[in-house]
Amino acid sequence: MNAVWIDLRDIEAAIQWWQLHIPPEDTAALKALIQIKNQMILQGIEFLEESAMSLEALAAFERWLATLPDSPCIAICSTSVGDNICTGCGRSFEEITRWTVMTPIEKRSVWKRITQQATSLRFTPEYADRLIEKSR
């Protein structure tokens, strides 16, 4: 399995979520994420390998990930007609077939890539009504 990298911007987003939703008795999760963020900034790195995170920081990060939409699918899958990359969501055929067994962090990595590329139909105004996350 390839290394999975976590973006500093996602760590920052998770910290912001925890600051808004943190139960008073659970500051340890927030502190673990802040510690990771500070280490990344001090080291001047933008991405951190998942395996470099403490279990507490990883659990806190995955709890934030659970608040995000799971799948980018908009029910226009072109891989069923032979495309290697779905024109609907931007995932590869392999990513679509492995989606149910991928970890939340692997899924986030795919989400980041397809969002940055923004080439699939899911990123066009014509298909905005199909987005699950629009109601969140």
**Residues contacting residue 122 through CB under 8 Å, at least 6 positions apart:** 72, 74, 88, 89, 90, 114, 130, 131
Position with higher pLDDT, 82 vs 35 = 35
Question: In this prediction, what percent of the chain has a pLDDT beyond 90?
Answer: 68
Confidence of residue 40 (pLDDT cuts 50, 70, 90): very high
Residue written as tokens 């692997």? 106
| Averaged pLDDT, 128-134 | 64
Confidence of residue 78 (pLDDT cuts 50, 70, 90): confident
Q: How many helices (H) and strands (E) does the chain have?
A: 5, 2
Q: Token pair of 72, please?
A: 């980018």
Pair 18, 30: CB distance under 8 Å: yes
Domain chopping of the chain, boundaries: 5-65, 79-135
Residue 93 pLDDT greater than 70, yes or no: yes
Q: Token pair of 112, please?
A: 């980041």
Q: How far apart are CA 97 and CA 71, in angstroms?
A: 12
| Averaged pLDDT, 53-61 | 95
Report how far apart, in Å, the C-alpha atoms of 111 and of each of 7, 17, 48 are. Answer: 12, 18, 17
pLDDT digits (tens, 9 = 90+) for 103-130: 999 999 999 999 999 999 988 888 877 7
Q: How far apart are CA 79 and CA 14, in angstroms?
A: 32
pLDDT digits (tens, 9 = 90+) for 2-28: 778 999 999 999 999 999 998 777 789
| Averaged pLDDT, 34-48 | 97
Q: How far apart are CA 121 and CA 105, in angstroms?
A: 23
